[in-house]
A and B are shown apart, each in its own frame.
Chain A
Amino acid sequence: MTEQLTPEKLVKSFKDEFKTKIKESRIEKHIAGSKKTEFIHIWLKVDKSIFKNVIKHIFKLEKYPHLAVVSGYEMGKTIDLVYHFSIYYGERAKEISLNITVELPKPNPVIETITDLIPGALITEQEKQEMLGIKVKGIPKDERVFISDDFPKGIYPWRKDKTGPEKMVRNLHEVKK
């Protein structure tokens, strides 16, 4: 296993490699219990153009970075994805959560797949495609997972604009019997 970096050095290693393309960085320190054990959450906002290289850079820190899930939400002009990784697991209180946010422009929300690096990312990438209407370039299985095939095309349940599901929602008390 490669040497473990401190949170500050870890963020610095990203900034040295990608310079201004790392738009924001934040280190959160939380404590828990009587012994005040500390754990770290790191948040990075990266430019879309270097996204795949950032993921490759994580592999230099940890042989098998664990991808928990990809979260996502719509922000008006952009669609943001948050990749939740954990690295340095396997030793007591050493793990660091690494959360990488990437903004995609709404007219052309395309992101590269990371399934070639982490095969376990498949389901979560499929989910983002159907829920947020993004396009994952090079995804090995381009089909729906959670919503059924007869669900109308062009409606994305997590969107907050007119492509959202609002029109399909009915409140039970409003339905005439």
Chain B
Amino acid sequence: MSPEATTKTTYRLPIGPIHPALKEPVAFEFEIDGERIVDVRVSLGQVHRSVEWAGMRRNPIQILYLAERICGICSYCHPMAFALAVENIADIEVPERAEYLRVIQAELERICSHILWAGVAAHEIGFDSVLFLTWQMREKVLDLTEYLTGNRITKAITMIGGVRRDITKDMVPKVTEALNYFKDNFEKLRHIFLDDKTFKMRSQGVGILTKEDALQLCACGPTTRASGVKKDVRLDQPYFAYGDLDFDYVTPDILTGEVNGDVYDRIIVRLLEVKQSIELIEQCLDLMPAGDIVSEPKIAKLLATLKKVKGEGIGRMEAPRGEVIHYVKLDENEHPYCWKVRAPTYNNILPWIPMLRGEQIADIPIVAASTDPCMSCTNRVAIVDSGKKYELNREELHKMSVEKTRRLMK
């Protein structure tokens, strides 16, 4: 054997571009030493659709509907961040009632996204009964979304200067009923995720992101808050009606008294945020003033105004996964001169590297899923071992993860 062959102890494991643990097509290349991950390389762009380019050829109202289709789960944050940017440029004042309605929709989306994530996380470690339980809850959130907006996923509720549908008095009982259902079931979820021994074994001390790394790599959303960084656009720069509401940063130490920055902490943050969102919606229903829901109901008139506007602005909002920021530049034209979309996962890619380094292959799905990346699904993982290629499909990798859970349970 040549000297290289005897000294080389690592091999490379590509995961992606498409894989069930990654909701968005992205390719990883792991350097593996036995079961341990030594290094990680990430390559993006497997699903670039030139949305920004297409947007620069559409008018602001059309962009709302295009932005809605950037992501199926954040189908409210993207058009809203764009609307905020345009409102900032054109100095459009949003009616107070609309600000509260916007908060309700945003928090409903957060509940939906976090519960969906909780189910996926449970599935990744082989806890499929919990997946069914969480998605049953999510179904109720979708029903409520449908009741309030007319749609379950792409809500089409956003309008520049307000929202498109009101929540009238006779609708409130149904909303309260749904909120009570979430509250009752939340306790069950909290108990499963935070007290269960197996969950703790799989998530504690796994996929650690230190506070220092989170700050330097500009992580955002629950990923950075789980590492103890107090960063939440809702509180840092209260947009909508968040300035009027009573709530605080969610970091894991409010429950456990310490911050580890591991997968368990990310579960804590998301679960507590579900509870927080329920409370925020209740506060909104209590405080909501009467009045208009949109500043300019005539779309043709709104477009004519926007055609005369020149300037640049940003719209920032806290999506379920972190900060969404849209940059818009208008130049007295029908179409914006520049539109830049930044979704939270963009900033949560680099933190994957310190999280995955030193972990085991069986931990890849749960660690990768723990930042709640924006996903899509597939089928094959290939292990390349000194020129020989093994293929490890989605089921086998999932099986390895499940087997690890079973081993720990013995």
B236 touches A95 (CB 8 A): yes
A8 within 8 A of B: no
Of A43, A67, A91, A95, which one neighbours B218 at CB under 8 angstroms?
A: A67
CB-CB under 8 A from B215, the residues of chain A are 64, 66
Interface residues on B, range: 35 or more
B350 touches A33 (CB 8 A): no
Of B238, B249, B287, B316, which one neighbours A97 at CB under 8 angstroms?
A: B316
A32 and B242 alpha carbons, distance in the complex (Å): 8
Of B88, B230, B242, which one neighbours A28 at CB under 8 angstroms?
A: B88
B99 touches A33 (CB 8 A): yes
Of A73, A82, A93, which one neighbours B236 at CB under 8 angstroms?
A: A93
Of B41-49, B114-122, B297-305, the stretch lying at the interface with chain A is: B41-49
* B350 (CB) vs chain A CBs: closest residue: A120
A165 within 8 A of B: yes
B218 touches A66 (CB 8 A): yes
Interface string of B201-229 (1 = CB under 8 A from A): 00000000000000111111000000001
Those of A98-137 within 8 Å (CB) of chain B: 99, 118-124
Q: For chain A, what secondary structure do more than half of its interface residues adopt (helix, strand, loop), or is it mixed?
A: mixed
A32 and B239 alpha carbons, distance in the complex (Å): 6
Interface string of B6-50 (1 = CB under 8 A from A): 000000000000000000000000000000000000011100101
A68 touches B218 (CB 8 A): yes
CB-CB under 8 A from A91, the residues of chain B are 230, 236
A119 touches B241 (CB 8 A): no
Closest beta carbon of chain A to B219's beta carbon, Å: 8
A146 and B49 alpha carbons, distance in the complex (Å): 10
B314 touches A33 (CB 8 A): no
Closest beta carbon of chain A to B212's beta carbon, Å: 9
Other A-B contacts than A72-B340, A90-B249, A123-B44, 19 sampled, CB-CB below 8 A, are: A30-B88, A32-B240, A32-B243, A33-B96, A33-B240, A33-B244, A34-B96, A34-B287, A37-B244, A41-B88, A69-B340, A69-B347, A73-B329, A92-B235, A120-B350, A122-B350, A123-B350, A147-B48, A157-B50
Which 9 pairs across A and B sit closest by C-beta, in order of nearness? A37-B243, A120-B218, A95-B236, A146-B45, A69-B342, A71-B340, A73-B338, A64-B215, A90-B230
